[in-house]
């Protein structure tokens, strides 16, 4: 009789335990990271009798959780990738707004500035036309400066976001370490602390949103959490803290370091994968830096080209002088590494100066400079945009700039970050305030002789380089017979005031005075362009300009800037120059570059988000709670509990009958 009572009691307890577990599952059906639990029931060994073995009922062995290590790891890894891609896509969408198309773009503002010179060319002495040019110049400079300042603000935002993310990571790692300690304490009981394990897995999954981690289980039930190719983040109940430290070159930028006993050690960003922190570092080090250099390249090249042409003309001052600069841009900068050799007073022992010598060849890149260990006295300079490494000496021209050293000799480990153009746009401004300072006049004026017989007229006359010299005037140009070598050309003789004679061959559309590639070459610093055709003995006289308010030669030269390819020329190994881009093409290329990054990041984000959702669905499908299933189990164990109660009730009735019989 006792056996039947024991079986009934055990059955009721087992079904009660199952009902309690089902209730726990239902209660946590919507709890993030919760894994479905189930009771493991076993049958005790039977009791031997002469009639055979009789069962002893049922026993509750343990409560286990539905967990798949592979699915959980895959869900965390894909989630880290999804957060990295979505963070970068979101950041790039903000960056794309700095390169708007159409009327709001920098390319359009540059075109408007140059187009304003049309009115000045039509009315060189009109102050209102000149004032429009100044207004357009101010607007263009303001757009460059605004875009540059927004990039500075975005950089500050990245550092702020990094600090916030690192703070969350440190909190999560502390909680994971605490959960490890609790799991280790419960590990000796022989049963797994399911809720603690779920909590720890959920913390690791949340940690993966910020930085991708790998885990390694230990024999005591704890897990080690590692980042960056094996760097320990959590081991047992101890957590390593991360911190945001200044970039070794630029204190406005940041890097992520790990705290160790001997100080903070920067993490190599190349081995960090996944999570929003990785995305922010990549966005800072690549996308923001490229955007700064793209803007700076355009600002430096365009302002230099405009200022150079302005300096070749004459303004309306009395007496007329060379035109003052219209634009001013930020200067190049050299940033020494924080680990470089220092003087006893804490200042850096070596200083590097950067000067621009050819703005047309400036590239949208930063450079790393360090001593060449194989060649004493030489230096290795790395173009960071494409990784090109060159060995150079002090004073050599590199992509349109030169560097010079000051102070001591660089130590073997010293390095410098050179930024020829990154600050150009941020600090760009209009430096000319007086409309009379616009140099619309050419220093030379050309006129045809009244006795000419041909249809030749002067189309334009302006200076193109510093070789122009009004003291050589008057200059006489006399046309002769057709060129025997080419009937489409006309021979001419150019005679300077000092009696120097140049002989040349002219063809319709070809300038006179600046034909350095002709044979023989002529480079007098000006270009004279003609309409119509001359006849033999027709002449042109070139004189120093006397009335600057009536001369529009240099204003016409400004109009040509819009079609000149002066942005981003590259010097090849054979000494030739690649064709650069116009200012509009350069801006369009920058828009295309940023736009392609946005499209790529958006696509990757959509794909990785979908993959992460599928991985989480697979994990939750195996570990999650299905309310329909739990409802059916609830009825099943309820019926089992009721049946066990009937068994206990029957045993009690039999026992009562036995007592009655014994009492008779």
The answer to whether 189 and 147 are in contact (CB under 8 A) is: no
Here the tokens at position 48 are 């031997």
pLDDT digits (tens, 9 = 90+) for 170-203: 999 999 999 999 988 888 777 888 888 889 999 9
Q: Quote the pLDDT of residue 438.
A: 93
Cα 43 to its chain centre, rounded Å, is 64
Q: What is the mean pLDDT of residues 227-235?
A: 86
> Whose structure tokens read 């479905």?
36
| pLDDT for residue 486 | 84
Rounded to 5°, the CA angle 184-189-190 comes to: 105
In terms of phi and psi (left: phi > 0; alpha: psi -120 to 50; beta: otherwise), the region of 440 is alpha
CB of 337 within 8 A of CB of 416? yes
d(CA 34, CA 490): 91
Higher pLDDT, 157 or 102: 157
> In this predicted structure, what is the pLDDT of residue 213?
92
Whole-structure pTM value: 0.87
Confidence of residue 636 (pLDDT cuts 50, 70, 90): confident
Helix (H) or strand (E) holding 611, with range, is helix 583-623
pLDDT value of position 284? 95
Radius of gyration of the chain (CA): 41
The DSSP line for 209-247 is TTS--EEEE-TTS-EEEEETTTEEEEETTEEPPEEEEE-
Give the three-state DSSP class for 345.
coil
Compute the distance between CA of residue 408 and CA of residue 404 in angstroms, rounded to an integer.
Answer: 12
pLDDT digits (tens, 9 = 90+) for 550-607: 889 999 999 889 999 999 998 887 877 888 899 999 999 999 999 999 999 999 999 9
Q: What is the pLDDT of residue 185?
A: 87
Task: Report the distance separating Cα 212 and Cα 77, nearest Å.
Answer: 7
Mean pLDDT of 529-545: 90
Which of 154, 258, 265 minimizes the C-alpha distance to 211? 258
Q: Are 11 and 19 in contact (CB under 8 A)?
A: no
**Model confidence over 463-507: pLDDT tens digits?**
998 888 888 889 999 999 888 888 888 999 999 998 888 888 888
Confidence band, pLDDT 50/70/90 cuts, at residue 127:
very high
Tokens of 384: 């960071």
Q: Which residue has the higher pLDDT, 648 or 450?
A: 450
Which secondary structure element, helix H or strand E, spans residue 491, and what is its range? strand 486-495
Count CA atoms within 13 Å of residue 471 on its CB side.
Answer: 1
Instruction: Give residue 52's pLDDT.
Output: 75
Of the chain, the percentage scoring pLDDT greater than 90 comes to: 48
452: Cα separation from own chain's centroid? 62
Average pLDDT, the chain: 89
Map out the domains of the chain as residue ranges. 2-66+625-663, 333-420, 443-544
Tokens 């209730």, residue located = 23
HSE-CB at 21 with a 13 A cutoff on CA atoms is 25
Indicate the pLDDT class of residue 22, thresholds 50, 70 and 90.
Answer: confident
Spatial neighbors of 453 by CB under 8 A, at least 6 apart, are 535, 537, 538
d(CA 66, CA 49): 39
Per-residue pLDDT for 451 more than 80? yes
474 has which bridge partners?
none
Task: Please state the rounded mean pLDDT for residues 286-311.
Answer: 95
Asked whether residue 404 carries a pLDDT value surpassing 60, the answer given is yes
What is the structure's pLDDT at 2? 63
pLDDT score of 598:
95
Nearest to 151 by CA among 299, 2, 360: 299
Distance CA 569, CA 309 (A): 18
The bridge status of strand 327-328 relative to strand 263-266 is unpaired
For residue 347, with 0-12 CB atoms within 10 Å meaning exposed, 13-18 middle and 19 or more buried, which class applies? exposed
Q: What is the DSSP string of 95-124?
A: HHTTS--GGGSHHHHHHHHHHHHHHHHH-T
pLDDT of residue 58: 84
Q: What is the pLDDT of residues 50-95, one digit of tens each?
A: 777 777 778 888 888 888 888 888 999 999 999 999 999 999 999 9
| Residue 516: pLDDT over 90 | no
């Amino acid at each position: 009789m006792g056996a039947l009572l024991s079986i009934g009691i055990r059955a009721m307890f087992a079904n009660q335990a199952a009902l309690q577990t089902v209730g726990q599952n239902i209660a946590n059906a919507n709890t993030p990271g919760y894994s479905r639990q189930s009771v493991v029931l076993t049958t005790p060994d039977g009791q031997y009798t002469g009639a055979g073995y009789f069962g002893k009922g049922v026993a509750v062995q343990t409560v286990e959780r539905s967990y798949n290590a592979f699915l959980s790891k895959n869900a965390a890894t894909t989630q880290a990738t999804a957060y990295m891609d979505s963070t970068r896509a979101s950041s790039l969408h903000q960056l794309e707004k700095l390169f708007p198309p159409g009327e709001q773009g920098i390319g359009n503002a540059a075109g408007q500035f140059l187009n304003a010179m049309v009115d000045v060319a039509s009315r060189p002495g009109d102050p209102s036309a000149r004032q429009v040019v100044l207004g357009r110049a101010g607007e263009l400079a303001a757009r460059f400066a605004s875009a540059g300042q927004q990039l500075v603000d975005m950089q500050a935002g990245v550092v702020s976001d990094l600090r916030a993310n690192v703070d969350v990571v440190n909190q999560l790692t502390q909680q994971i370490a605490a959960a490890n300690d609790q799991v280790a304490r419960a590990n000796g009981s022989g049963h797994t602390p399911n809720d603690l394990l779920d909590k720890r897995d959920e913390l690791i999954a949340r940690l993966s949103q910020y930085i991708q981690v790998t885990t390694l289980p230990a024999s005591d039930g704890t897990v080690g959490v590692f980042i960056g190719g094996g760097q320990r983040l959590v081991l047992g109940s101890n957590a390593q803290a991360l911190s945001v430290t200044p970039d070794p070159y630029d204190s406005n930028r940041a890097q992520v370091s790990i705290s160790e006993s001997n100080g903070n050690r920067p993490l190599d960003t190349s081995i960090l994968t996944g999570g929003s922190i990785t995305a922010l570092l990549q966005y800072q080090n690549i996308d923001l830096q490229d955007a700064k250099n793209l803007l700076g390249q355009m600002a430096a090249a365009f302002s230099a080209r405009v200022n150079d042409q302005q300096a070749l003309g004459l303004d309306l001052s009395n007496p007329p002088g060379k035109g003052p600069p219209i634009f001013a841009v930020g200067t190049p900068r050299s940033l020494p590494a924080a680990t470089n050799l220092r003087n006893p007073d804490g200042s850096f022992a070596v200083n590097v100066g950067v000067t621009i010598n050819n703005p047309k060849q400036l590239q949208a890149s930063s450079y790393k400079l360090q001593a060449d260990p194989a060649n004493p006295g030489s230096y290795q300079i790395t173009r960071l945009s494409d990784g090109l490494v060159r060995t150079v000496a002090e004073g050599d021209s590199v992509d349109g700039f030169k560097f010079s050293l000051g102070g001591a000799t660089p130590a073997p480990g010293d390095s410098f970050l050179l930024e020829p153009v990154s600050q150009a746009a941020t600090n760009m401004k209009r430096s000319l305030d007086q409309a009379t300072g616009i140099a619309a006049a050419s220093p030379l004026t050309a006129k045809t002789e009244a006795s000419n017989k041909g249809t030749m007229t002067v189309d334009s006359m302006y200076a193109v380089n510093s070789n122009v010299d009004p003291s050589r005037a008057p200059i006489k140009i006399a046309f002769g017979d057709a060129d025997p070598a080419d009937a489409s050309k006309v021979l001419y003789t150019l005679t300077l005031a000092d009696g120097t004679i140049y002989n040349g061959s002219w063809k319709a559309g070809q300038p006179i005075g600046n034909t350095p590639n002709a044979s023989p070459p002529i480079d007098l610093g000006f270009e004279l362009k003609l309409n119509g055709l001359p006849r033999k003995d027709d002449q042109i006289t070139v004189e120093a300009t006397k009335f600057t308010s009536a001369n529009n030669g240099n204003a016409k030269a400004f109009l040509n800037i819009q079609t000149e390819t002066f942005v981003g020329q590259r010097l090849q190994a054979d000494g030739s120059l690649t064709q650069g881009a116009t200012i509009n093409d350069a801006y369009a290329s920058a828009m295309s570059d940023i736009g392609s990054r946005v499209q790529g990041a958006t696509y990757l984000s959509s794909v990785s988000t979908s993959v992460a959702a599928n991985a989480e669905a697979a994990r939750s499908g195996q570990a999650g709670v299905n309310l329909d299933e739990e409802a059916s189990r609830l009825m099943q164990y309820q019926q089992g509990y009721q049946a066990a109660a009937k068994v206990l009730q029957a045993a009690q009735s039999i026992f009562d009958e036995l007592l009655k019989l014994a009492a008779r």
